[in-house]
Structure 1
């Protein structure tokens, strides 16, 4: 299938561009360019209000189907158009990304009609924000080893106890979808359930920020101590299937929007290289050209995948491509500045002793690109086993007799 844009897409692009131009003014003008990777803490109040602004005109949930939940109806190419235009004007980093692009497609695929009617409209209106309760201190890339557990209480509700880590925007979220072990004594991917947990439970849920290399703390640890959950998606014990289905939605249209941001970051590095004279160095110039060519290749691959060439392993390929690319861009951003890259901005003060400019933040934040969202090692394992059909390695923590079976 050939993926391309038609005349209707051009009209939709103009509509999207005009709407963004008319609405990124006044209160929201100051939020432009804020809330990206490494700066998710910026403009919190304005960006939360921006979610409601988007929802009021149906711009949340373009790919959800017939508009039942208050969303606009848009084709796949129009979804790409919106994502590209949004990124091109550097509109505020989305607070509702996890709810719109991860939970909502999961509910449409695995949730009951009651769950869809309850949770999708508030997401579409920009009113309820979500976070993801997957990773744990001992279960990051090896998610199947998670230990957070949930038991039924006397009223038939789930009581969740355990710890999650690297939970993006948990300090702002209204809800968390939590992968928990609901069958006592179960191991690995068996006995897990996908629970929907309200975050406003004082004394039962505690959120602690994690300070990062960038000096910011948009990631969090979340501690559950008997937190109540009444909703399970896909049925009890089906958590692994639902969780893996959700991860398949993590890539896709949003990848193309991400690449628009990457393109702007590359332009900034090129401008710096020209200003410092680093562009005259043939080695650095070759690296710039290579990064540009790789970015174009990633776009072609993403469009090909959206155009119907989807195959198992494609999301893992995409993650491998952009994770390594973004790290190399961060490294080049420092290289073209020379020794000045280690110096803080001129407006340094005792009140802000760890201030960073955008390219310094890019370098530090991109150190995590090959780890979060599924490490490179895990992505290569998925490709090896599911695409190439190579044999699985037995889990090293199991006894020899269990490995043999």
Structure 2
């Protein structure tokens, strides 16, 4: 494998690092931050020279930007779903009209997106979606149903929705991929889901006759499953490397906690810390190999391997964070009193949030099934077997 950074890449790194140093400052409104990024041309680096308002960058430069962004302490992105999921899907599957309508507002940070896939009873089993989209007499679609675990729905202007447009269809047949405006009072309702951490990063979304225009069906009616699978292939690309920069920072904080508590003197704890470090390095090289297109590194199984690696790793790191803290891990950062409500520190938040890592974005069981059936060619598991 050959994956290195050229002199041009390092010059690009200095430019990115300098810009971030000048613009990242404390708490910032995330929508304003998206506009700041867009105005400077930092959104859509991987879209290619399509004339949609974004600068172009090579694959290695995209990696450089993702890593420098993660190191800078910049705000978490509210535009990444539009930039990294919808935009590549439109570039691959969308019409010229759809690209011209939706890509420029994403590139300048003006329109934010969320993903309407999972439903109650159809999370990991995406083909079981029941949300319906019926064609009305005026040619538009009327969408009725519920989506759940919808990240950033409370901030989004638009949602790409996988819905059933063919009555009585089953599984992956009869599905369509629709672009739906969220600003439809009385027709689209967003309800935050309160998590163990006390935050609400996910939402339920209810569609009650929400409108979608016929020209906003990506790939044509009935092609929803193909488009949805195409999108999932973009979900774990360059951003995986930026995610690993964040992971490295969390691991560093766990090591510091182990030193402070004295847990680092335990040989079992030391072995676990070293293993976490080594596995993080393996994840980095696997991601670079996949992005570099090494023989056998891509294909249907690459995203599933990536998800299995980081989901389990991050969950084990959260458990280790609590182990090195000892009994103090169960107490908030301030001494508890009725006038001082319990609060989570960063490592407690890491532990609680990471409990979901092996479930959301495709559970471990589903990822292993994909690898077994689509990559290894093993027989499908008989339906109905418990």
The normalised TM-score by structure 2 is 0.96
CA gap of 1:152–1:349, structure 2 versus 1, over 3 A, is farther
Per the TM alignment, residue 396 of structure 1 is displaced from its structure 2 partner at its CA by 2.7
CA gap of 1:221–1:109, structure 2 versus 1, over 3 A, is same
Residue of 127, 151, 156 corresponding to 1:173: 156
1:39 equivalent in structure 2: none
- Paired residue secondary structure (1:336): helix
Asked whether 1:62 is paired with 2:45, we answer yes
Ranges in structure 1 where 5+ consecutive residues have no aligned partner: 32-42, 398-405
Q: Deviations over 1:13-70 (max 9, x none)?
A: 000000000111xxxx123xxxxxxxxxxx5xx1111000000011000000015111
Q: State whether residues 334 and 340 of structure 2, in contact with CA within 8 Å, keep that contact through their aligned partners in structure 1.
A: no
Tell me how far apart the structure 1 counterparts of residues 5 and 123 of structure 2 sit (CA, whole Å). Answer: 39
Per the TM alignment, residue 371 of structure 1 is displaced from its structure 2 partner at its CA by 0.2
2:235 equivalent in structure 1: 250
CA gap of 1:271–1:63, structure 2 versus 1, over 3 A, is same
Tell me how far apart the structure 2 counterparts of residues 21 and 66 of structure 1 sit (CA, whole Å). Answer: 27
1:21 equivalent in structure 2: 21
Q: State whether residues 273 and 337 of structure 1, in contact with CA within 8 Å, keep that contact through their aligned partners in structure 2.
A: yes
Q: State whether residues 67 and 73 of structure 1, in contact with CA within 8 Å, keep that contact through their aligned partners in structure 2.
A: no
Mapping of 1:136-285 within 5 angstroms?
A: 136-230=119-213, 231-285=216-270
Q: State whether residues 114 and 150 of structure 2, in contact with CA within 8 Å, keep that contact through their aligned partners in structure 1.
A: yes
Tell me how far apart the structure 2 counterparts of residues 212 and 162 of structure 1 sit (CA, whole Å). Answer: 23
Asked whether 1:30 is paired with 2:13, we answer no
Q: Deviations over 1:369-394 (max 9, x none)?
A: 00000000000000000110001124
Root mean square deviation, CA, Å: 1.3
CA gap of 1:351–1:136, structure 2 versus 1, over 3 A, is farther
Tell me how far apart the structure 2 counterparts of residues 66 and 130 of structure 1 sit (CA, whole Å). Answer: 22
Q: State whether residues 370 and 376 of structure 1, in contact with CA within 8 Å, keep that contact through their aligned partners in structure 2.
A: yes
1:377 equivalent in structure 2: 365
1:38 equivalent in structure 2: none
CA gap of 1:232–1:129, structure 2 versus 1, over 3 A, is same
Tell me how far apart the structure 2 counterparts of residues 160 and 351 of structure 1 sit (CA, whole Å). Answer: 47
Asked whether 1:73 is paired with 2:56, we answer yes
- Paired residue secondary structure (1:176): strand
Q: Deviations over 1:162-216 (max 9, x none)?
A: 0000000111100000000000010000000000000000000111111101011
Number of corresponding residues: 380
Residue of 299, 317, 322 corresponding to 1:311: 299
- Paired residue secondary structure (1:91): coil
Tell me how far apart the structure 2 counterparts of residues 219 and 83 of structure 1 sit (CA, whole Å). Answer: 24
1:4 equivalent in structure 2: 4
Tell me how far apart the structure 1 counterparts of residues 339 and 51 of structure 2 sit (CA, whole Å). Answer: 49
Tell me how far apart the structure 2 counterparts of residues 344 and 256 of structure 1 sit (CA, whole Å). Answer: 31
2:105 equivalent in structure 1: 122
Q: State whether residues 128 and 174 of structure 1, in contact with CA within 8 Å, keep that contact through their aligned partners in structure 2.
A: yes
Tell me how far apart the structure 2 counterparts of residues 223 and 350 of structure 1 sit (CA, whole Å). Answer: 37
Asked whether 1:322 is paired with 2:310, we answer yes
CA gap of 1:351–1:307, structure 2 versus 1, over 3 A, is farther
Ranges in structure 2 where 5+ consecutive residues have no aligned partner: none
Tell me how far apart the structure 2 counterparts of residues 144 and 207 of structure 1 sit (CA, whole Å). Answer: 23
CA gap of 1:351–1:305, structure 2 versus 1, over 3 A, is farther
1:335 equivalent in structure 2: 323
